[in-house]
Amino acid sequence: MSQTSPSPTQSLTQLSSVLDISWKTGRDYGYIFIGSLIQALAMRLFLIPANIVSGGISGLAQLINHYTHWPIGLMVFIGNVPLFILGWRFLGGPRFALRTAFAVASFSLLTDNLAPYLPANGVTSDLVLNSLYGGVLLGVGLGLVYRGRGTSGGSDILGRILNDRLHVPLSQAYLVVDGLVVLGAGFVFGWDRALYGLVMIYVSGITAEMTSEGTDVFRTALIITNEAEKVSRRILDDMERGVTVLPGVGGYTGADRPVLLCVISRAEVNVLKALVREVDPNAFMVIGHAQEALGEGFHPLKKGG
């Protein structure tokens, strides 16, 4: 039985799909490598010279290095091996493994091999500057790794396992893991540096989130008004924002009360409040935070990130 050869159009479509996947994969690994490089620079320029522990496996490696002088990058790699095996078992096998292995290997190699080319004492002796700049650089690096759909290993893997298997919130899982390492840093390097380590971890967390998810801040607005049609029309015409009308019923009166839902930027909050107040001063509004807004009028919702 003969098989029909694909048409030129089908072949071009398939080739385009393959190239698109290859481009996205290459982009992801580029993000991970650059992120690993920035993390290694943060360690070598700010955190290691100042004895400020970064938490997780890299922080534990700093503590061991203080007594043994074993290479920090090598210890990070070795320390991630058992966690990597656990991650393979519980977090998705090959899909999880490839990007995480690349991130851990890149960070480990760069942390050790950059040392001869960078000042041994860092760029400043000020603990505040070391914790702030180290935190910002480390956060940018982590954020880029996350953008590449990878993890940096260490507490990332353990935190995700605790979240997946024991339903421990990620924030609490990271707090427990990093908190134990910082506690050890207090005994080894002194409690002042342990406290600066907490500042650094907080700064790096915020920076990582901003880097991986962007700096845009969106708001969701729920509006209950007797002038739903007029308010929605003003939002559509004056603000050029979409509005969804949800059916609602007053709990006390039992009367139908349409609920308007719209998503706006932070800068548009006051504009929306003034508009609603002008149409219906008795309206009820709830304005909340939105983690992300995808779709028409905001960031496009694309397959594959």
Residue 65 has pLDDT above 90, yes or no: yes
- Residue 100 or residue 87, greater confidence: 100
Asked whether the beta carbons of 31 and 148 are under 8 A apart, the reply is: yes
Handedness of CA 24, 27, 32, 33 (dihedral sign): positive
Q: How confident is the model at residue 151 (pLDDT cuts 50, 70, 90)?
A: confident
Residue carrying the six token digits 């008004």 = 225
How much is the pLDDT for 15? 53
Residues listed for the chain? 305
Q: Among the CATH numbers 3.90.1150.200, 3.30.70.120, 3.40.50.1100, 3.80.30.20, which is that of 218-290?
A: 3.30.70.120
Q: How confident is the model at residue 1 (pLDDT cuts 50, 70, 90)?
A: very low
How much is the pLDDT for 155? 74
Least confident of 72-76, 127-131, 265-269: 265-269
Q: How confident is the model at residue 264 (pLDDT cuts 50, 70, 90)?
A: confident
Asked whether the beta carbons of 238 and 278 are under 8 A apart, the reply is: no
* Residue percentage of the chain with pLDDT more than 90: 41
Taking the C-alpha atoms of residue 75 and residue 234, their distance in angstroms, rounded to an integer, is 61
Taking the C-alpha atoms of residue 131 and residue 47, their distance in angstroms, rounded to an integer, is 7
Question: Tokens in use for 21?
Answer: 């996947």
- φ, ψ at 252 (rounded to 5°): -90, -45
Of 35-49, 92-106, 177-191, highest mean pLDDT: 35-49
**DSSP calls for 88-116:** HHHTTTHHHHHHHHHHHHHHHHHHHHTGG
Q: For the chain, give every residue range classified as CATH 3.30.70.120.
A: 218-290
